[in-house]
Structure 1
Amino acid sequence: MSTFLVALGVWLARLPLAEFMIGAALSERGAEADFQVESLDLDGVTLRNLRFGAEESPDAAIETVEARWRWRGLSPELAAVRLTEPMLRLRLDQGGRVSAGALSGISGGAPGRRRPTIPRFNLEIIGGELLVDAPFGQLTGDFRASGLIGENFTAVGRIAETTRPGAEYALDRGKAELSVVSHDDSIAFRVSAEAAQLLWADARADSARILVLGHTPLDLGRFTIEAAMRVAALDTPTVDARLLSGGVTGEAATREDALAFETWRVRAEADAAALALQDVRVQRPRFTANGEGAGAQLRARWTLGGERFDGFGLISRQPAASGRLFVSEDGEFSGDALATFARSALDGDAQANLRGAFPALNGTPVGPTFAYARAALDAAADNFTLSAPIVLNEAEGGLRLSVVAPAEARAATGARLRLSPLRRDTPALVLQWPGPRLTGAVAVELSGGGAPGASLLLDTVTSSAEAPFEADGTLTLADWRADGASIAANELGVTITAAQGGGRVDLRGPARITGPLGDGEVRDLVPTLDLAISWGDGWRVMTNGACVPVRMGGLDVAGLSFADGNLALCPLDGALIAADAAENLSGGFAIQRLALNGSMAGPERQPARVAAANVVGRFSGRTGDITLAVAADRPMISIDMAEDRRLDVVLQRITANAYIGESWRVVGDFVQGGLTDPTLPGSVSTIAGGWSAAPEDGKPVIRVIAGAALLTANRPASDDERPLFNPLQLVEIDATLRDNVVDATGGVLLAEQGRQLALFVARHVMSDGAGSASITASGLTFGPDLQPYDITERTRGLVEGVTGSADIVGDILWTRDAITSAGRVRLNNVSLATSTIPIIENVNGEILFDDLFALTTPPGQQLSVGLLNPGVAVTNGRIRFQLQNEQRVAIEQAEFDFASGVLSMQPTTITLGSEETRFELRLSDVDASSLLATLNVPDLEATGRLEGAFPLLLTRRSAFIEGGVVRAQGEGGTISYTGAAGESATGVSRIAFDALRSFRYDSLSLTLDGDLNGDVVSSIEFSGRNTGTPVDLGPIAPVPGLGSVTVRGVPFNFNVRVTAPFRRLAQTAATITDPGSLINQQGNVDEEELVDPDAPAPE
């Protein structure tokens, strides 16, 4: 009875007891559920309102669950399950994770001794609903199922085509379907999903589709799976793909005692039309992998290829990578990989950066080596193959990546860059996790193909999460030569330290540089480096000491040669050069008290010195577009040209702003310069102007632009002398230094008036130390605004009132030993006056100077003078002369037309400015009649020819005639005086006047002696006879008883001596052709200026 009562009680309490037991079983598997047991009997159970999760938002809910079982002996066996109106809610978060809420924690329970299986039973799902909560909104679907699993079971779930618009998350025409079929004691499923477009935060996929197929027997002894995907376009911040597709196939056999793989095999493939991972782009990428294993073991091979790789500054038209992966039974893995980039080239930016590392610095010591390296590396960067082997293995509980074999880039030109282990027993680099931690000993070598030979040997390389990257070793530069230039460093000490956001490289030791400097050369320039190059929010190049000592073996520049120079390069503001985070440059250098001693090039080797008080350079601009501003205070060059000749060029300041980018150029200016040379007629001061330098046709060209200078004549030897020329200004000086040759042009102005006088053209060959200059003044017009004394004070007081024009050309030649000059002056209708000759007109001709500085000429210089009138006009002058040293003028010939004859000057040499000057004037074949007309003497006619000579002595105080003579030529001539001067004369005077009315002379002479500023003694003698009307002699020789006596042909001798100041010379000169004046002197004697009382009367 008691047993019956207990059994009755259990039966009556079966529903609460069933709820308890079912709830406990679900809780044991990690699921908390609410439900009600509606019925329970020996054949089955019915549950209502089964719910998982919160009541207001359940993760799953089923209206009715009906389970039926059958008994096999005392063991029930599930026979059928019906789910009515089940609801399943899935949640998809913004990270792409799927959650089933409370159902996610359900486990399979305790493991058994055999592998689990899928039971055969009838499963029916009626009116199933699927809810998917996603960032773009909720998706809804339905599912249903029916049939006996393992025989005729089918199940279908669908999400119909749905669009959910949104700004950050959106779905356009998305749909999905799950189908499950089970027959022949196996089960298979198919899952497909697609969308026209899916927007997920900052990622977008267009025309995406995925398909997954799976199959397994009910005993779960073997699995096969296939998956495929296709995306027309995928855009994310890090991935950009076009026509991306891929697939995975695999199969596995499971163990008998557990649901675990015993053996398995898998294959994966993927490809795309184009794929970009951040800045890495691949055209037609292809990936394949094959793996197999037993238990936990894995053996896999993979390959990766494409038609074009573009990334990390590299473009490869044949990229490929392959590798192997191994996993041992205990889970340790290892592998290796080889990446090969064939038919590769650096991209445009990388090649620009490579070229920028070797800027075009033509004309600088590193110019040829940089150019050679740039050309070699640029050619190598156009076609090379890069290979990098890597070994992967597990060690010390983590992953280790090692470079144990050389990684190499080999160019078609033969250039090779190789990274290899420094020691045979140690990998070059080892990167290990956890950490990461990097160690190694590496050799980096560059060689071949014209590239500079370089070797960086890092003895130690270390880095970890706790410590910065550190490396220490040596750098050797060898065989870096080009066109006579070289850069070398033998085991330059290198220490590298790098941490997050910054680092530092220290260089220690000497480097040796040889190369050109302009058209010269620097030899064995050796800076002893002790530098630190740091970076982080920019970068800096600093000295570890105060300054960098620099030794110079030799310097040849501008025709000068220096040897064994030493200087110190000191940083400004703590850095030789620096850049901030925005790449703005700063820093600079200073060289104090620069002094170099050397000599001029050439056999004479004249001593030379170059010095500057201070040289300062400052950097500005930006990285890749550098500006270096250099200023030198009081730069000076001095050359001992000869024992008593020193050439000095001194500037107050010279500046140079160098702009260095893909090419280079320099602009600057210079101020307050001066040039002195004892062989020059003057000194050059206030030199100023601008200059520039830049490469043209691969060679440096230096230009001086709009230069100016003041040219001042040397101080005369004594105060009595005047300067050779007044201050001149050289303006608009443009000069070009190209191929060791300086070409210059400019203008010459009068400094005081600012009036242009001439233009000049100059050339200097620096290697020869020789050159020339040509000064041209075309159409230099004299007038009221310009007189010769405006150009040179030496003409002041000598000439005045100059008009006309002159063409002047001066040529100056110089060598290392001497300066010579020559020139020519063409006078064009020049007229002027002197202190003694008031009228000189129409001077024409060309004067050739063989020394412009000394103003000397060769013999035979010729000028023509239209008119010269010192009181008596002479015309058509022909002068031949030579200007000699010490202001001497050699008169070779001087002739003027005068009175139908010639007035000439005897050849002589005159010293200008001397105490005494002697020369002789001559009259030749002067016509007496023309002379009377020239002198404009009235009432007198004469015939005959005259000649004479006038020796002159000129002193600073006066002029003297010494034995001057004028005499008649040949058989004499006639004189006829028709004036009224003798009408009132009586006696002898009357007879003389009557005789001179028609008088033929046989001889006539005039002598002059004396001081032209004092008394001049004149003696006039002429003799002859009267002709024509007889002369009445009655007044002087009466004949008694005869009345008037007249005679014809009576001989007369006139002999008159006159002593008078030279202002009476005109009166004396007139007596030559006006004897009446002599006769009048007998009766009209000046009381203050007495005529010699002993002068004889006419006989």
Structure 2
Amino acid sequence: MAQDADITNAPARPGRKWLTLGNAIRAVVLLGVGGAAWAWITREDIAYDIIADELESRGIEAQYKVEKISAYRQVLTDIVIGDPARPDVTIERVEIITQPRLGLPGLQEVRLVRPRVFGRIADGRLSLGSLDKLIYTGSDEPFALPDLALSVDDGRALIESDFGRIGAKLQGAGNLAGGFTGELALVAPNLVMADCSAQGASLFGTVNVDSGKPHFAGPLRFDRLACGETVNLAKGGVELDVLAASDLAVVSGRAAIATGAGQAPAATVAALNGTSSFSWRESLFTADYRLAARDLVTSEGRFARFEADGFVRARDNFARLEGEGTVEGTGLQPGARPGKLLAEAARSAEGTLFAPLIERINGALASELRGARLLADFTFRQNAERLALVVPQAELRGRSDDIVLGLSRAQFALEGEGLPRFDGNFLTGGAGLPRISGRMEQEPGEPLSLRLSMADYAAGDASLAIPALRMTQARDGTISFAGRAFASGAVPGGSVRGAEVPLDGTYSAGGNLALWRGCQTFSVEALALGDLAFGRERIELCPQGQQPLLRYGAQGVSFAARTAPLDFRARMGGAPLHLATGALSVSWPGTLSTSAALVELGEGEDVVRLALGQLDARLEQDYIGGTFAEASPHLPAVPLDISQGAGTWRYTDGVLDLSDVAFRIEDRAAPDRFEPLTAQSAELSLRDGVIRARALLREPDSKVAVTRVAIAHDLSSGAGHADLAVDGITFDSKFQPQDLSRLALGVVANVAGTVTGTGRIDWNARGVTSSGRFASESLDLAAAFGPVKHARGEIVFTDLLALTTAPNQTIRVGAINPGIEIYDGEVTYQLVNGERLEIGGGQWPLLGGTLTLRPLTMNIGESESRTYTVVIEGLEASRFIERMELNNLAATGKFDGVIPIVFDEDGNGFLVGGVLTSREPGGNLAYVGQLTYEDLSFVGNLAFQTLRDLRFNGAEILLDGPLAGELVTRVRFEGIRQGEGAQNNIISRTIARLPLELRLNIRAPFYKLIASTRSLYDPSSLRDPRRLGLIGERGEVLRDQIDQDAVDELDAEAERAAEEELSRQRGDEPAIQPSESEDAL
């Protein structure tokens, strides 16, 4: 069809006249007409000469035979016109019937038998070779068929053309001016014009002439019609009925179109049918049409019937076109492709507010488009410079009869080499579909502009509205847009309500997207991310430099923004949350930096706080991480404060890792229960909402490892725990308990030994619990009541953080020396809140009896008076003498008593009301050494020998006074008499008859008194605490410990002094000698 139109509409060449079948017939018949006239005059004698001269004068080369010449009938045979080797026309036989009129021969009929015409169409012009001189005469006379009876018997033609070979056959008879009737057939096996082709084309029908007007009726058929890869029709036909005016100036007709299956780009039809009426008059072509396609199928859907109805008008040989019409499609069945694309989009948007919106659109479209109807009106105009298409109204109405897509006042224009222009209004809608309205327009010389708005569209909790959006397209194809969108619904990890998002950016023809030039404000009515819930908040993001906030293209995504200090209020798990930072800058790929960050969770005294002095990061495709400094987390439920936190962090595959972390941890209680500890190279990770951390805590000065800590915390539940492991804290001269806790001051000192143990802290919504278990195999220490050796046992804490133990904790004591060393004791106690030490009591075996410490309460860390009450039961005097190594004394008897030891607020110790009482029947005290004083008188020596062995019925020792000063000891013996070792003489017998009571008052410093008896006999046993620098000259305490180097030096000096004294004594007489009269007494 397209080839026919191009051939028909080709512009005429200068000087060309109508190329019609009539002109061709004239040329062929001319031989017979001319020959007949001359034959009538000259008859046969001159026939050859006259015909030859006539053909020669017209420049026509021809061969023929004259079979018969008569007044009424002339016959020529074997006519060949043109080159005999390649003739233009051959005619087997021509018969010319004449009728004399007014004495001249009148042409009545021409009969052509088996004429054969050979021609060519080149550049739109038909050429019959030699006959062109008869056809293209240049005459201006209007065309008219001759008043001539013509009979054609088996006439045929073969036309070679640029489009392919065309064969024709004509059979008919009658007057060409009226009454001619015949049959015409044209055959073109393969026609090609440009990229269009027709295979198996044929035209067959009847031709007749009525009143000089030629008429044709018959079908034009083709096996296949194709134009490149755009149009392909099979088994088509056009039933033609064409009538021309006598001068061929007007041609009109009707056509009925019917084809088989056809296809166009992205569309196919099962069949195409239609009718048309057309006319051609003075270079004006008009036609109306009505076309219908059955089963029009595209990837987007299928119309059961698609119709087009309208007219077209062409002027100036189709140089200008115009027309109008309507199209209507009914019985739409949506295709699978739109639903599949929308389903894929919904899956891609899963977890966001767009997923339910797209799903609703997909479902609503599938419902509305089933059975939908398309109706559109259009007009168009085209000339050499401009094409314009106007669509006053177009509607796609869904099953509910709502407009799914509508156009109004739409115009498309294309001028010259410029960009196409489009103006028009559009809207979308339908049951369950978003309602969008907008207008696209373009003023001459201005960019294409689109303005649209979308009413709030919701699906469940998700909604989206675009109150206004303006888009423009520049000549280089760049699209700029500006507007705002309001959205609610799911976002990754949570949901948003009332989000207001600016839409500002450009999209280039090269596919580069740039968003948000200049500062932009984003706001939400509510935002929930996991357990985090924000209320009404807004944030302003500004670009860094001249670049937009976000760019996307072949190089990937890049983002760069900065903000003023931020301050957000939210709730996490129902608790208030405060988020604040200093000025923040972030870029991707690039860096992130902020200062003075603060996170607070909770309210009042229960606020959980994390402060960061500085946070820096490097953000890249394969790396997100950086450093932080001055971190200070605060958990009110855990009475510990962490500060000076610093380290590196990295975020990979949804996991946050902190490494090389250093921090300082302190007790929040006042006063501190333990001294600050530090950690280096600690680690922390956040994976699947669970925080895990590991650290080794050390004493900051000595760097002694105190405990290993392993922490796990579930952010979703707020529950977690910390495991503590003390692998072994060794106390020595360089590290003491007071380095860990000042509470140890005044309680213990000079601790030596190792402590191990474990602890655990658990926390959840109900609160915090903690426990621990620590032990030592051997500890030596100095306590207020004396040195302690080989203390061992296990301490079980029921509340480790509060330093509270279970009741009745037990420590085994290898030895304790409150002045007299005692062994293998046991002490029970309970520590409460790290503030109160409840001593349940203690007990030791003591010199054949027991020493018991009565229960007492100590408020740790407070200045207070404390009383240690020591109960002595069954102390054997002989064991005491033996323990004190008083080798020249012997004693018997058992003693019981109570000795209160009181320490005042300043730590000064006193014995107050101490009493030791002998048990009945008393005891014995004797001097068993050999002692004679050189200058002792006879009477004195006699008295000493008499009293060296005494028995007593009762003894009482009263102890009072300061431990660090002068202690008053009052000793009273009752019922004194001589023992077995005393001499019986006049003095002893006199004394025995007397009721004697011996009272002694001793005043001396306590520590000196304890050793004074032994020092009387063994000076080396005495170590003067004054020489050690422990007490002053008046007994005041100067210090409670001395370093080992000083002790070693003093020992060496004492050893040298002892050797010198021994050497001197060997050279002198003893100071004490036996008495010469001892035996006589």
The TM-score normalised by the length of structure 2 is 0.67
1:672 aligns to 2:629 (yes or no): yes
Aligned to 1:456: 437
Aligned to 1:160: none
Distance 2:356 2:133 in 1: 72
Q: 1:470 aligns with which of 449, 455, 471?
A: 449
Q: CA deviation at 1:863?
A: 1.7
Look up the equivalent residue of 2:56 and give its one-letter code: E
Q: CA deviation at 1:149?
A: 5.0
Distance 2:988 2:862 in 1: 62
Using the TM superposition, name which of 473-482 and 244-253 deviates more: 473-482
- Structure 1 residues 575 and 838: CA distance shift in structure 2, 3 A: same
Aligned to 2:580: 610
Q: CA deviation at 1:299?
A: 5.0
- Structure 1 residues 987 and 102: CA distance shift in structure 2, 3 A: farther
Q: 2:200 aligns with which of 202, 205, 210?
A: 210
Task: Kindly provide the CA deviation profile for residues 949-998 of structure 1, in whole angstroms up to 9, marking residues without a partner as x.
Answer: 24143687864434433333x53576799x97469998666666666xxx
1:336 aligns to 2:326 (yes or no): yes
Q: Percent identity?
A: 13
Distance 2:740 2:231 in 1: 85
1:747 aligns to 2:694 (yes or no): yes
Look up the equivalent residue of 1:903 and give its one-letter code: L
Alignment of 1:403-414 (within 5 A): 403-405=391-393, 407-408=395-396, 410=398
Distance 1:1036 1:108 in 2: 198
Task: Give the SS at the match of 1:350.
Answer: helix
Alignment of 1:975-994 (within 5 A): 981=929
Distance 1:287 1:754 in 2: 92
Aligned to 1:801: 752
Alignment of 1:474-513 (within 5 A): 475-478=453-456, 480=458, 483=461, 490=467, 492=468, 494-507=469-482
Q: CA deviation at 1:89?
A: 8.5
The alignment of Structure 1 onto Structure 2 pairs a total of residues equal to 916
Task: Give the SS at the match of 1:834.
Answer: strand
Q: CA deviation at 1:727?
A: 1.6
Alignment of 1:710-725 (within 5 A): 710-713=662-665, 724-725=675-676
Q: CA deviation at 1:383?
A: 4.9
Counterpart contact for 1:391–1:404, Cα < 8 Å: yes
Aligned to 1:685: 644
Distance 2:147 2:270 in 1: 39
Counterpart contact for 1:418–1:445, Cα < 8 Å: yes
Distance 1:930 1:246 in 2: 141
Counterpart contact for 1:419–1:442, Cα < 8 Å: no
Q: CA deviation at 1:823?
A: 3.2
Q: CA deviation at 1:391?
A: 1.5
Aligned to 1:573: 546
1:430 aligns to 2:411 (yes or no): yes
Aligned to 1:831: 778
Alignment of 1:128-143 (within 5 A): none
- Structure 1 residues 190 and 428: CA distance shift in structure 2, 3 A: closer
Q: CA deviation at 1:864?
A: 0.8
Task: Give the SS at the match of 1:537.
Answer: coil
Larger radius of gyration: 2
Q: 1:223 aligns with which of 199, 217, 220?
A: 217
- Structure 1 residues 873 and 561: CA distance shift in structure 2, 3 A: farther
Counterpart contact for 1:632–1:654, Cα < 8 Å: yes
Task: Kindly provide the CA deviation profile for residues 766-823 of structure 1, in whole angstroms up to 9, marking residues without a partner as x.
Answer: 9xxxx665432146443489977598254698463332422223356899xxxx8663
Q: CA deviation at 1:877?
A: 1.8
- Structure 1 residues 395 and 517: CA distance shift in structure 2, 3 A: closer
Counterpart contact for 2:877–2:893, Cα < 8 Å: yes
Counterpart contact for 2:897–2:914, Cα < 8 Å: no
Q: CA deviation at 1:291?
A: 0.8
- Structure 1 residues 1006 and 371: CA distance shift in structure 2, 3 A: farther
Aligned to 2:827: 878
1:304 aligns to 2:293 (yes or no): yes
1:442 aligns to 2:412 (yes or no): no
Counterpart contact for 1:929–1:941, Cα < 8 Å: yes
- Structure 1 residues 51 and 891: CA distance shift in structure 2, 3 A: farther
Aligned residues: CA RMSD: 6.2
Q: CA deviation at 1:610?
A: 2.4
Counterpart contact for 2:63–2:81, Cα < 8 Å: no
- Structure 1 residues 1065 and 106: CA distance shift in structure 2, 3 A: farther
1:653 aligns to 2:615 (yes or no): yes
Q: CA deviation at 1:252?
A: 1.9
Distance 2:1023 2:481 in 1: 112
Task: Kindly provide the CA deviation profile for residues 187-242 of structure 1, in whole angstroms up to 9, marking residues without a partner as x.
Answer: 465858599xx9x9999x9xx973646243576744322524269xx9x984598x
Look up the equivalent residue of 2:583 and give its one-letter code: A
Q: 2:898 aligns with which of 919, 934, 948?
A: 948
Distance 1:104 1:505 in 2: 67
Q: CA deviation at 1:861?
A: 3.7
Counterpart contact for 2:962–2:1006, Cα < 8 Å: yes
1:966 aligns to 2:916 (yes or no): yes
Counterpart contact for 1:573–1:587, Cα < 8 Å: no
Task: Give the SS at the match of 1:800.
Answer: strand
Distance 2:1023 2:387 in 1: 142
Q: CA deviation at 1:337?
A: 0.9
Distance 2:513 2:856 in 1: 81
Distance 2:966 2:868 in 1: 20
Distance 2:382 2:1022 in 1: 148
1:72 aligns to 2:22 (yes or no): no
Q: CA deviation at 1:379?
A: 3.4
Task: Give the SS at the match of 2:360.
Answer: helix
Task: Kindly provide the CA deviation profile for residues 673-704 of structure 1, in whole angstroms up to 9, marking residues without a partner as x.
Answer: 4226697643423355657699xxxxxxx864
Aligned to 2:678: 727
Counterpart contact for 1:805–1:827, Cα < 8 Å: yes
Aligned to 1:55: none
Q: CA deviation at 1:286?
A: 0.8
Alignment of 1:239-250 (within 5 A): 245-250=234-239
Aligned to 2:378: 392
1:18 aligns to 2:59 (yes or no): no
Q: 1:257 aligns with which of 240, 246, 250?
A: 246
1:757 aligns to 2:719 (yes or no): no
Q: 1:267 aligns with which of 250, 257, 273?
A: 257
Distance 2:536 2:779 in 1: 59
Distance 2:964 2:833 in 1: 30
Counterpart contact for 1:326–1:334, Cα < 8 Å: yes
1:325 aligns to 2:310 (yes or no): yes
The TM-score normalised by the length of structure 1 is 0.66
Q: 1:538 aligns with which of 490, 505, 511?
A: 511
Task: Kindly provide the CA deviation profile for residues 70-101 of structure 1, in whole angstroms up to 9, marking residues without a partner as x.
Answer: 452434966567899x998899x9xxx99989
Distance 1:70 1:549 in 2: 100
Task: Kindly provide the CA deviation profile for residues 739-777 of structure 1, in whole angstroms up to 9, marking residues without a partner as x.
Answer: xxxx533223225578861222345689xxxx6654321
Look up the equivalent residue of 1:478 and give its one-letter code: D
Aligned to 2:144: 113
Look up the equivalent residue of 1:792 and give its one-letter code: L
1:380 aligns to 2:364 (yes or no): yes
- Structure 1 residues 636 and 98: CA distance shift in structure 2, 3 A: farther
Q: Compare the two structures and name the one with the higher helix fraction.
A: 2
Unaligned runs of 5+ in 2: 1-39, 70-74, 100-104, 174-179, 281-285, 316-320, 934-940, 1027-1081
- Structure 1 residues 974 and 745: CA distance shift in structure 2, 3 A: farther
Aligned to 2:761: 810
Unaligned runs of 5+ in 1: 24-34, 53-57, 152-183, 422-426, 621-627, 660-664, 695-701, 1072-1076, 1090-1099
Distance 1:5 1:222 in 2: 41
Task: Give the SS at the match of 1:375.
Answer: helix
Task: Give the SS at the match of 1:835.
Answer: strand
Using the TM superposition, name which of 799-808 and 671-680 deviates more: 671-680
Task: Give the SS at the match of 2:677.
Answer: coil
Look up the equivalent residue of 2:325 and give its one-letter code: G
Q: CA deviation at 1:1081?
A: 9.8
Task: Kindly provide the CA deviation profile for residues 831-876 of structure 1, in whole angstroms up to 9, marking residues without a partner as x.
Answer: 32223434243222313348x3xx5548x74321122423324435
